[in-house]
Structure 1
Amino acid sequence: MSKKVQRQPSLTESLIPIVFLIFLLSMNVMFWDDTLRGANQVALMTAAALSGILGLRMGYTWTEMREKIVKTIGTAMPAILILLLIGALAGTWLISGVIPALIYYGLDILKPKIFLFAAVLIGMIVSTATGSSWSTIATIGVATLGIGDAMGFDKAVVAGAIVSGAYFGDKMSPLSDTTNLAPAVSGTDIFTHIRYMMYTTIPSITITLIIFLIMGFNLHGGKPPEHIAEVQASILQTFHITPWLFLVPVILFIVIIKKMPPLPALAIGVLLGGIFAVIFQPHIIQNLTHITDNYAKASYIGVMQAIYGPTHIVTPNKEMNDLFSTGGMEGMLDTIWLILSAMIFGGIMESNGMLRKITRSILKLVKSDGTLITSTAVSCIFFNITASDQYISIVVPGEMYHDAFKDRGLKPEVLSRTLEDAGTVTSVLIPWNTGGATQARVLGVPTLSYLPYAFFNLISPLMTIFFAYMNIKIRRYKDDKENKRTASEAGNQPS
C-alpha cells in the first residue's frame, strides 16, 4: 500500500482551527465564571482534534502528529514541575507564617498613595536579582497582593502592577533564561542584547511607573488606617510573627542569585517553609491536623498536607481568610491540565504545517524594516496564543525571521530585542499560555482581569513597533561600515 502524499495546508485551512478555538473560548467566557476548571481545556483539545482531522486529510499520519505532541509537551515539563513546586511553596510559606509576616511588615512600610508604584518597583528589583518572574510572583508577589488587599485596592490592579514589575526582570536580568535564549537564537551576545533592550524597556517601564503612581494618588486604596490596624492585629492573633521568618525568602533569593536551577531552589524554599512552620507555628499545625498529643506526628502530617493539598487558615478578619488559603500541589492540577491541552493544540498545529503556513503568509507582507519588525512582534504574540509557551514564541520566530533581518541589513540585536519585547512579556497575558495560566492560579486573579493593568507587558510590544517605524535605534550593518570609514578618513587627515 503506497503512502499517502502529504500536501501543505492552505492559509484558510490553517486559520480554521484558530477561528474555531477563539469561538469556543468566547462561548466559555459567556457561560462560565471560572473557565480554567475545564471549559478552556476542552476547547483547546476540541480545536486540536479539528486540526488533526484536517492534517489527516492532507496526508499527515496520526503517528507523526502524536510524536510532535509528545515533543511539545516535553518542552513544557520544566514549567509543569516548577508549577507543582510553587503550589507546595505557597502551602509551606503560609503555615510557616512567612507570607503573613511579609504582609504584616509590608503594611507598616508601604503607604497607600505609593503602594502601586512600590509594587512595580519591588517586583523589578527582586526579578532582576533572581532572573525569575515566576519565583518573584509566587513569593513577594503573593505577599504584595495581600498588602494591597488589606489596603482596599482592587486585586486585578495590584496583580497588574506585580506582573509588570516581575516581567521587567524576566526580560532584563542576565540570570533570566529568556534573556539568554533570545540573543542565542538571534546570533548576538547577552550583554549587547541587554544594552540594546534598554532603549525600549526603560521608556516602557517609566511610563508604567508613572501610570501606577498617578493611580495610587487617585485610588488611595479605599480603606482607612483603622482597617489596616485590624488586619495586622488579626495576623498577630493567628500567627507568631517574627523577623526571623524573613530568613526563608532571603535564603531562597540567595540560592537563586547564585544561579542554582529553579527546581532545586524552589525545593529548598519548600523545605525551609516546612521547617520554620514546625519551629514557629506549632499552634497552626495542631489546629490544621487536630492532633495535640503528638507534635512529631502533627508536624509531619501538617507540612505534608500543606505541600500537596488545600490549606485554609481562619483569622479574626474574614476578608483575609481567602488570602490565607492555598491549594498546594493539588491546586495547580487544573493549570497543568490547561498547559497540557494547549501543548496538544500547538503540537498538532505545528506538525501539520499550519503554524508555518500562517507565519510565511505574514512574511509576504514585509515591505520595510518597520513591517518586518512588526511582523516579528505579531508572530511572537501569535505563537504565545497558539503554541502557548514563551520559549516557543522566542525560538520559532527567531529562527524564522533570522535570515530576513540579515537580508535587510539589520543587526541581530534588533531581532533579539523584538523577540523579548513581544514574546517574553506577552506570554503572561494569554489565559492558556504557561505564563498566564500559572500567574492567574498563583495570584488567584484571572488573566483577563489583570491584563488591562499589566501596563509594562502591553506597552513593550507597542514600543518596539513604534521605534521601528520611527527608525529610532535600529542598528544596521551599514552603520558600522560608515562609522569605520568616517574614522579612517579622520585618521588620514593631515595634522
Structure 2
Amino acid sequence: MAQIPREEGIGPRAISRPPSLVDALVPCLALVVFLSLSFVLFGSGASSGPNQIALLFCGIVAAGVAYKNGSRWDDIRQAVVDGIAAGLPAILILLAVGALIGTWAMSGTIISMIYYGLKLLSPVYFYATTCLVCAVVAFSIGSSWTVAGTLGIGLMGIAANMGLSPAVTAGAIISGAYFGDKASPLSDTVNLATATAGSDIYSHIRESLWTSVPALLLSSIAFALLGQAGEFDATRALAMIDSKVDVSLWSFLPLVLVFLLSIARLPPFVTIFAGAIAGAIVAVLHDPEGVATFAAAPDLPLGLALLKGAWAALANGFISSTGEKSIDLVLSRGGMSSMMNTVWLIITALAFGAVVEHAGLLKRLIDPIVARTKSTAGLIATVVGTSVVSNVVTSDQYISIALPGKLFGRTFADRGLAPVMLSRVVGDSATVTSPLIPWNSCGAYMAATLGISTAAYAAFCFFNIVNPLLTIIFALLNWRIVRTGGLGAPDEPRNPAPNLKHTSAPDEVAIVSKR
C-alpha cells in the first residue's frame, strides 16, 4: 500500500506571524459565499465546473492571507503540491472505478447483478438489506470505496429497475459501507485514527462498536420503514433482460476477483483495476461479437478489434445498443474519462485545503474554543465539530482524521482521557461525515460512482448522521468515557502520568491510502 510521508502532508509549516481571527475567517466565509453563489447560479450543474472555480478562487484568497503573514510563495506552492500529491492515490482509485464500470457494463456483470437482484430482493426490505449487506462486506474488506464502486453499482441498478429511490438507495449503500470503514481492523481510516491518537487498534474497534452498532441498527430500522409495501412483479423486467442480454453466472467472476483481492489486502487501485481488466476479459470470452461491434472497426482483424473494444471501454466507457431504452440507460456508462470532472473537483478542493492548513487558519479558529471548553462532553462535542468543519474546509477525509490528534491530543491527556477516546470520537465524526460534503474527496467519489449528487443522497445517509450525534449523547450521559485510569474516573483536568506516551503529531504518521 502506498504511503505518503507525513512531513509532506498534513502539518502546517512555520510562518512568520500567526493568523488573526479575521485572517482565519476570510477564506472560510469566502468558501461559503462562493459555493452558495455557485449553487444559486448553476443549480445541479455547479459541480461540473463552477464549484471548482469557487474552490480555486478561495484557495487564492487563503494564499494571500498566508503571504500577508509572512509565508513565501515557494512555501505556499509547495504546500499545494504536497496537498494534491496526498490525494493522488484517491484519484487513481477513482479512475480505476471508471474503467471498472465501463468493462463491467460490457461484460454483463452489472446487468447480471441487477437480474439476480430482481429475483431475490423485494422493495419492502430492499433498503435495509442493502445497508446490512454493504456493512458486512465493508467490514470484511475494510474499504467503503471498494464496496460502493462494485456492489454499490449493481444495487443502484436494481433500485432503478424496481422503481425505488436512487437517493435512498445511495444513502443505504454509504451507510453500510461506512460502518465497515470505521469498524474494521483492515480499514485505513481506523489505522490512521489510532495512529494519530496513540491508541490501540483493537481497543479502538471495541469502543467504536458501542456507537457504530446502535447507529447501524437505527439506520436499518429507518431504511426498513422507507421500504415500499405491496407486491413487486419482476416478471416483465426479467423477461426484457432475458430477451436482450445473455445473462450468465460467469459474469460474476470479476466481482469475485475484486473481493478476493480485497481480502488479500492488495492496494485498492490494483484490486479495482484488476477487476476492470477481468471484466474486459470476460466480455471478450463471453460475447466477442458484441465487443467487436462496439469497437466499430470492421477493417481490423478480429483480435485487434476485440482489443480496441476492451480498450475503449476502459478509457471512455461502454455504450449499450440493445434497443431497449431502460437497459441501454443502465449500461451506457463508465470509462476513466467519465471521472475527469470529479478529479478536477478533488484537485481544486485539495489545493484549497492545503493552503488553509499551511496558513494555520483552521487551528486559529479552533484553539480559542478548546481553551474555553471545560467539561468532557463539551470537549468531545468540540472534536466532533472540528472534524466536520475540517471535512468542509480542507475537503479531505485523511486531514480531518489526523488533525484532531494534533489539536486535541495534549488536552485529552491533560484531562485524563484515554487516547482511545480521541480515536473513537474522530472515527465517529471525521470518517463518517466526509461523504456528506460535495467537494470533499469522499463526497465527490460517492456522487461520481453511484451516479447521484451528494446533495440528493446526504439526507438519507442515516448512519453517517446518527453516529456523530450518538458520540455526543454518550458524552452528555457520561457513558463509555474511557480515562487513563479506566471507565468512570472523575471528570476533572489533571496532569498526565509521567510514563504516558501520546502520539499527537500527525507529522509522524504515514497515510495509508486505501479509502
Structure with greater helix percent: 1
Is 1:264 the equivalent of 2:270? yes
Letter in 1 for 2:345: L
Is 1:255 the equivalent of 2:261? yes
Please name the residue that 2:362 is paired with: 355
Question: What is the aligned counterpart of 1:344 among 330, 345, 351?
Answer: 351
Please name the residue that 1:68 is paired with: 79
Contact 1:239–1:284 (Cα < 8 Å) also in 2:
no
Letter in 1 for 2:339: M
CA distance 1:442–1:8, shift in 2 (3 Å): same
Is 1:153 the equivalent of 2:160? no
Q: Percent identity?
A: 38
Question: What is the aligned counterpart of 1:199 among 207, 210, 232?
Answer: 210
Structure 2 residues without counterparts, runs of 5 or longer: 1-14, 491-515
Contact 2:322–2:328 (Cα < 8 Å) also in 1:
yes
Which is bigger in relative contact order (C-alpha 8 A, separation at least 6)?
2
Distance 2:88 2:242 in 1: 40
CA distance 1:111–1:70, shift in 2 (3 Å): same
Letter in 2 for 1:26: S
Distance 2:83 2:112 in 1: 40
Of the structure 1 ranges 258-267 and 82-91, higher mean CA displacement relative to structure 2 is found in 258-267
Is 1:398 the equivalent of 2:405? yes
CA distance 1:237–1:481, shift in 2 (3 Å): closer
Is 1:388 the equivalent of 2:395? yes
Letter in 2 for 1:422: S
Of the structure 1 ranges 432-441 and 50-59, higher mean CA displacement relative to structure 2 is found in 50-59
Please name the residue that 1:172 is paired with: 183
Contact 1:128–1:172 (Cα < 8 Å) also in 2:
yes
- CA drift of 1:262 comes to 1.2
- CA drift of 1:482 comes to 7.7
Question: What is the aligned counterpart of 1:186 among 191, 197, 207?
Answer: 197
Contact 2:123–2:232 (Cα < 8 Å) also in 1:
no
Contact 2:100–2:334 (Cα < 8 Å) also in 1:
no
Question: What is the aligned counterpart of 2:239 among 224, 230, 233?
Answer: 233
- Superposition RMSD on alpha carbons, in Å? 1.8
**TM-score, structure 1 as length reference:** 0.92
Aligned to 1:323, what secondary structure does the other structure show?
A: helix
Letter in 1 for 2:443: G
Is 1:90 the equivalent of 2:101? yes
Distance 1:377 1:131 in 2: 23
Distance 1:198 1:384 in 2: 23
Question: What is the aligned counterpart of 2:459 among 452, 455, 459?
Answer: 452
Question: What is the aligned counterpart of 1:246 among 247, 252, 261?
Answer: 252
Letter in 2 for 1:265: T
Question: What is the aligned counterpart of 1:52 among 58, 63, 70?
Answer: 63
Letter in 1 for 2:109: V
Distance 1:101 1:54 in 2: 54
Letter in 2 for 1:417: R
Distance 2:120 2:453 in 1: 28
Letter in 1 for 2:106: I
CA distance 1:53–1:214, shift in 2 (3 Å): same
CA distance 1:114–1:317, shift in 2 (3 Å): farther
What do the CA deviations read for 1:10-69 (whole angstroms, capped 9, x no partner)? 112211111111111111212222222101000000111111122222222211111111
Distance 1:233 1:62 in 2: 64
What is the number of residues matched between the two proteins? Answer: 474
Contact 1:47–1:345 (Cα < 8 Å) also in 2:
yes
Please name the residue that 1:443 is paired with: 450
Question: What is the aligned counterpart of 2:41 among 31, 47, 54?
Answer: 31
CA distance 1:432–1:481, shift in 2 (3 Å): closer
Contact 1:204–1:460 (Cα < 8 Å) also in 2:
yes
Runs (4+) off by over 6 Å? 480-483
Aligned to 1:174, what secondary structure does the other structure show?
A: coil
Please give the residue correspondences for 1:456-467 in structure 2 after superposition, counting only pairs within 5 Å. 456-467=463-474
Letter in 1 for 2:419: P
What do the CA deviations read for 1:106-139 (whole angstroms, capped 9, x no partner)? 1100111010111101111111111111110011
Contact 1:137–1:166 (Cα < 8 Å) also in 2:
yes
- CA drift of 1:399 comes to 2.1
Please name the residue that 2:130 is paired with: 119
Letter in 1 for 2:447: A
What do the CA deviations read for 1:430-473 (whole angstroms, capped 9, x no partner)? 10111000110011100010000000001111111111111111
- CA drift of 1:223 comes to 8.8
Please name the residue that 1:314 is paired with: 321
Contact 1:234–1:315 (Cα < 8 Å) also in 2:
no
Letter in 2 for 1:37: S
Contact 1:92–1:307 (Cα < 8 Å) also in 2:
yes
Question: What is the aligned counterpart of 1:429 among 428, 436, 443?
Answer: 436
Letter in 2 for 1:62: W
What do the CA deviations read for 1:338-358 (whole angstroms, capped 9, x no partner)? 111011111111112212211
Contact 1:314–1:324 (Cα < 8 Å) also in 2:
no
- CA drift of 1:480 comes to 6.6
Distance 1:481 1:473 in 2: 8
